[in-house]
Structures are given as structure tokens and as C-alpha cells.
Amino acid sequence: MTDEWEYVIVGAGSAGAVTAARLAARGSGNVLLLEAGADQPRPRDRSHPLADAGRLVLSGYNWDYRANLRTSSRLEDLVGARAGGPAAARALWERFPYQLGKVVGGGSAVNGAIALRGLPRDFAAWAAYGNPDWSWERVLPFYKDVENDADFPGHLHGDSGPLPVRRTPREEVHELDAAFWAECNRQGVADLPDLNAGEEAGVGPIPGNAVDGERVDAATAFLTGARELPNLRLRTGIRVVRVLFEQHRAVGVEVETDGRLTAIRARHVVLSAGAVGTPVILQRSGVGDAALLRVLGITPVVDLPGVGRDLVDHPSVVIWSKPADGVCTPGLPWRQVAARMSSGFDGDVDIQVGLLNNVESHTIPGFVDRLGWPLVVGASVMLMRPRSRGRVFLDHADPYAAPVIELGLGTDPEDVERLCHGVRRAWGLLRSPGLASRLTATQFWSDRMIASDGVVRSGVRNIMNPGWHAAGSCRMGPVTDPWTVADQDGRVHGTENLRIADASLFPTIPSAPTNLTTLMLAEKLARNTKE
Ligand SMILES: Cc1cc2nc3c(=O)[nH]c(=O)nc-3n(C[C@H](O)[C@H](O)[C@H](O)COP(=O)(O)OP(=O)(O)OC[C@H]3O[C@@H](n4cnc5c(N)ncnc54)[C@H](O)[C@@H]3O)c2cc1C
């Protein structure tokens, strides 16, 4: 193949896999897909860790980022050149392991294989943020195109897309999930057999992109056939350091392999490095807040202060319990049923609640020591549309420096209050006879604690964790909005031949885990990409 590519796509994760497959298939010139992580073995054995949809992959195939769950004054200190030693402050805020996927398939290769769509109101918000092409009516055809939903053939679902979507029939769900489902019904949450139909409240089986317990990640679904195309090349173990520009026109990327820096030329560059990777590459390339870039000694190419801002993830609280003997079995499915309901804060449908069953505590770092229970059951409460925002930025121009990730969880007090109400709702479900009789002990929480507003609030603040659903750090929207980074076709403002296609574009986080929406977004952008 050639030394100058038509397209270089940075990152072979959820969005990058779709983008590369679609651009190559339509014969848009030669396409080079670059991935910092390793390739997956092909064929992949069923016993391979990436095959098991029953557990998250949190080591071995990940970026070992450390995130600050809140925010700090680090950015302001840098830009304002305020006194205070960065080295001394650093240890305090780089704490939480944030293990995003670093392997072909990206997040989709390590995740929980939950395949939930966003809700119509999420896309109404995207449109209201100046992206009229992203209303529910306009995104639905692309959700359909990516999926093969065997359970609900019909006008709302696709039956021939690359991604299989399956649900567990009610009669086959685990006894804990059956009890959870029945209790939700008893508390007034109606059945919703298809959680992807666009309706809000309800309890039903979780759609998943797994078949017989095997995770079908984006690489398996989208790249398997595309790899054979003569105009697509995948190169792994290559980290893109920055985009190369001539004036404002992207002309390629600088990459690092085994400590060596080289340039790859391309007519179009697409960044699909995810909501942490993409803004960091942009900042290193001189696209970002010019004040920050100057402090770091990076020459600004375009002053876009929105780069890295508005990072968002779903804050969640998990209440862990010990199952009674014989209730849980290692290796059985871990998530089968979810309920969308109101936390009770104001009547809005604002939380997703579900059980994490059959969880082997040694698979969660630090858990065996903390709990001493080999098998655990979690009741998870996820805030669907958090208001809090974080940010991601460089504090050093060194191409090897790790980014500063501040998730900002709970920085908006309303998020904390909604989660407090949500924890009480989850507690009410856990205390029902059907569930309580199958659980013998619960970590941390008790009836007395739940009764106290102050204790619940402080517990939620301290226990809240992210869902690994990083999004929104390069929001799309009109150039007139100073905090947007790209237009609604993913073209980076103020540049030529440079696009973004990944979860960093989300104007707001959807009300559901983010993978299926990322695949839909990449599918839609690839279809609309014109040279
Ligand atoms: C542990 C975990 C569990 C999750 N569970 C679920 C779930 O059950 N359901 C759900 O819907 N969502 C889930 N998610 C979220 C979902 O997987 C992500 O939203 C989605 O994968 C994001 O896609 P993306 O294309 O934006 O980024 P990614 O899939 O992260 O892809 C980015 C790719 O770019 C590569 N990259 C980054 N920087 C560079 C660079 N400089 N040079 C070269 N390559 C680079 C990365 O290695 C990665 O492969 C989970 C995520 C994680 C990490």
C-alpha cells in the first residue's frame, strides 16, 4: 500500500472499528487504522479473558489511568501560574483506577456488554445543543443499522447489522433477578420487555451484545470481515502522539513505536481515541485552550477551550451483599435485568437500578481483602443524566506524560441528592423478602444508616464511582458555542481534514451505558462523511 493514506483513523475501539470498516467498505481510498494496544488473537478461544462477557476486564488490556473522582485547582494553578508545587499536589488527586480499554475493540472489548440505547429525550437534548441531525428520529435508523436484534424484529429494530443483541427470557433469569423483577413490579415499576424501544420507566431484561456468554465486541462485529479488504490496514502497538498540520490542514499524524517517533501522512485524519485519548491528542497537536497550551510550551494551532472540558461519566453507587449459600455460582451471567425508575427526588425517571450477580470478588481489585466474601451481589444505582462535569487535560508537553483526568462526580449537589434517593429505593428493593432471604449480610449500609439523611449523603459522596462511560470531552455543536469542539458531522472547528468520531463528541451523556450509542454515532458519521 501507499505511503500517503486517504484516511488515518486513530484508535481501533468501538467507534474506530466501525469507522474503519465502513470507510474501507465503500472504497474511499486506502484506510489505515492505528491502535496503541495489541490485537486480539484470531480466532479467539472461548477461554480467552476478552471472550467472557460475565466479567469486566480491568487489567492486561487497559490504560492504567488514575482519575480524580472530583476536580482540583490544578488547571487553574497551571494557567494562572499560581504558587503551589504540582509534584506535591499530584498524589492527592490521581487515585481512582480508570481502566479504559487499550486493545483492538477498545472499551467494547473489556466492557460489560450491555447494549442499551439512549432515550428519545437524550437526542432532543443533542438537537437542542445545536445538532439538529441528531434527533431521535434521525439516530434511530443508525441504531438499527448496527444491530441484529433477534428478540424484537420489527420497525424499531435492525435484524441484519453486525452486532448481535440478545436478552435473557424471563423464565431463565437468575433467582435473584427474578426476585428483583417481581419486587420492582410490586413497587409499581411496570414490565418493559424491550428496554431499547424508547420508553422510559420500566423493568425488563437487559439487551446485551453477547451470545451464549461470549462478548461480541466492536472489533469482532465490525472488523472481522473488513480486515480482508485490500484497502484497509490495521497496525497495533502504535501510539499516536499528535496530529500534524500545515497551517490549519491536518496532513497526518506523528506516532510512537517502541520509543521511536515517525510521521504518517494522510489526506484525512479521524480521531477515535475515546473521550480521554482524543482531547489529549488534540492538545498535544496545538488544538485546545490556547492559554493552557502556551503554559505547556505547545504552539496553538486553533484556540478551542472546549477541548477536554465537559468530561462526563455516569456516577453510580453499588451496595454489596453476601449471597446465601448456593444462591450464586461463579461463571453464571452477572447482569440480566434492569429497571429505569424515579429515584423519588422529583418524579423524573432518573436512575437505572439492577443487580450484579455471581460476582467473584477476586475479579474486583481490593475486594477480597475488603469484604472477605468470595462471591458477592451488588445492587447498582446509576444516575442516568448527571449534571456534574469533569475535564481532561495535559499538565506537561512530554509526549509520555499521562493526562490529568478529573471526573467531577457529584460536583453538582443535585446529582448527590438524586443518588441519595436512589440508594434508598435500592435499599427498599433489597429489604424485600424475596431478596433479603437470599442475602445474608450487607457491606457498609444498615437500616439505621439509611434512615439518616446526613449519613446517606456522606455515604453516597464517598462511595460514588464512575461507570467507565467517559464521554463529552470534545462536544459537537455549532461554532458559535465557544465550548464545542466539532460540528455535528464531527469536523473539528477551525481545521481542515480533521474529524472526531467517538464518545467524546456526545453533547450530553445518554441515559444508558455508552457503547451502543458510540457505535450508532460512528455508523452515522461514517455514512455522512464526504471527502
Ligand atoms: C470497564 C468498562 C466497562 C464498560 N461497560 C459498558 C457496558 O456494559 N455497556 C456499555 O454500553 N458501555 C460500557 N462501557 C463504555 C463503552 O465501552 C465505551 O463508551 C465505548 O467503548 C467508547 O468507545 P470509543 O470509541 O469512544 O472509545 P474506546 O472504545 O475507548 O476506543 C478508543 C481506542 O483508542 C485507542 N487509543 C487511545 N489513545 C490512542 C493513541 N494515542 N494512539 C493510538 N490509539 C489510541 C485506545 O487504546 C482504544 O482502543 C464500559 C467501558 C469500560 C472501560
CA of 103 to the centre of ligand 1 (A): 9
Per residue in 165-207, pLDDT (tens digit) is 999 999 999 999 999 999 999 999 999 999 999 999 999 999 9
Q: What span, in angstroms and rounded, lies between the C-alpha atoms of 119 and 116?
A: 9
Q: What is the CATH number of the domain that holds 201?
A: 3.30.410.40
Q: What is the percent of the chain where pLDDT is above 90?
A: 87
Q: Are residues 284 and 341 in the same domain?
A: no
Per residue in 21-77, pLDDT (tens digit) is 999 999 879 999 999 999 999 889 999 999 999 889 999 999 999 999 998 888 998
| End-of-domain residue from the set 464, 482, 507 | 464
Atom of ligand 1 nearest to the CA of 104: 49
CA of 200 to the centre of ligand 1 (A): 26
| End-of-domain residue from the set 419, 440, 464 | 464
For ligand 1, is residue 102 a contact (CB within 6 Å)? Answer: yes
Q: Are residues 186 and 73 in the same domain?
A: no
- Assigned domain for 402 exists: no
CB 425 within 8 A of CB 353: yes
Element (H, E) at 244: strand 239-246
DSSP conformation letters of 389-452: -EEEE-S---TTPPPEEE--TT-SHHHHHHHHHHHHHHHHHHTSHHHHTTEEEESS--HHHHH-
Give the per-residue pLDDT at 402: 93
pLDDT above 60 (res 352): yes
Q: Are residues 429 and 490 in the same domain?
A: no
Give the per-residue pLDDT at 333: 86
Q: Are residues 152 and 182 in the same domain?
A: no
Q: What span, in angstroms and rounded, lies between the C-alpha atoms of 126 and 142?
A: 16
pLDDT above 60 (res 478): yes
Give the per-residue pLDDT at 246: 98
Give the per-residue pLDDT at 80: 83
Give the per-residue pLDDT at 528: 86
User: Omega of the bond prior to 43 within 30 degrees of 0, cis?
Assistant: yes
Per residue in 90-136, pLDDT (tens digit) is 444 457 899 999 999 999 999 999 999 999 999 999 999 999 999 99
Atom of ligand 1 nearest to the CA of 517: 11
Q: pLDDT band at 361, cuts 50/70/90?
A: confident
- Assigned domain for 391 exists: no
Q: Are residues 198 and 341 in the same domain?
A: yes
Q: Are residues 33 and 151 in the same domain?
A: yes
Total count of domains within the chain: 2
- Assigned domain for 58 exists: yes
CB 156 within 8 A of CB 145: no
Give the per-residue pLDDT at 207: 98
Atom of ligand 1 nearest to the CA of 255: 42
pLDDT above 90 (res 273): yes
Q: Are residues 457 and 335 in the same domain?
A: yes
- Assigned domain for 398 exists: no
Q: Spell out the SS3 assignment of 145-166.
A: HHEEECCCCECCECECCCEEEE
Closest listed residue to residue 419, CA positions, set 531, 343, 332, 527: 343
- Assigned domain for 401 exists: no
* Strands (E) located in 272-410: 287-288, 302-303, 309-311, 316-323, 337-342, 349-360, 375-383, 390-393, 404-406
- Assigned domain for 291 exists: yes
Amino acid at 505: L
Q: What span, in angstroms and rounded, lies between the C-alpha atoms of 96 and 89?
A: 15
Give the per-residue pLDDT at 81: 56
For ligand 1, is residue 442 a contact (CB within 6 Å)? Answer: no
Q: Which of 19, 22, 35 to mutate to test the pocket of ligand 1 (most atoms within 8 A of CB)?
A: 35
CB 293 within 8 A of CB 283: yes
Q: What is the CATH number of the domain that holds 219?
A: 3.50.50.60
Q: Are residues 419 and 277 in the same domain?
A: no
pLDDT above 50 (res 338): yes
- Residue whose C-alpha cell is 451470545: 211
Q: What span, in angstroms and rounded, lies between the C-alpha atoms of 8 and 20?
A: 9
CA of 473 to the centre of ligand 1 (A): 14
Q: What span, in angstroms and rounded, lies between the C-alpha atoms of 315 and 423?
A: 12
DSSP conformation letters of 178-235: HHHHHHHHHTTPPB-S-TTSS--SEEEEPPBSEETTEE--HIIIIIHHHTT-TTEEEE
Give the per-residue pLDDT at 414: 98
Per residue in 490-531, pLDDT (tens digit) is 999 999 999 999 999 999 999 999 999 999 999 999 998 765
| End-of-domain residue from the set 464, 491, 509 | 464
CB 100 within 8 A of CB 109: no
Q: Which domain holds residue 342?
A: 168-205+315-383+410-464
For ligand 1, is residue 162 a contact (CB within 6 Å)? Answer: no
Q: What span, in angstroms and rounded, lies between the C-alpha atoms of 150 and 450?
A: 42
Give the per-residue pLDDT at 363: 78
For ligand 1, is residue 281 a contact (CB within 6 Å)? Answer: yes
- Residue whose C-alpha cell is 472546549: 306
B/e letters for 167-189, b = 16+ CB within 10 Å, e = fewer, are bbeeeebbebbbbbbebbeeeeb
- Rounded to 10 degrees, the C-alpha dihedral 201/207/476/507 comes to 30
pLDDT above 90 (res 335): yes
- Lowest mean pLDDT segment, chosen from 18-22, 172-176, 272-276, 399-403: 399-403
CA of 426 to the centre of ligand 1 (A): 28
pLDDT above 80 (res 364): no
CB 103 within 8 A of CB 14: no
CA of 333 to the centre of ligand 1 (A): 22
pLDDT above 50 (res 87): no
CB 123 within 8 A of CB 139: yes
Closest listed residue to residue 497, CA positions, set 217, 269, 233: 269
Query: What mean pLDDT, rounded, does the chain reach?
Result: 94
CB 178 within 8 A of CB 186: no
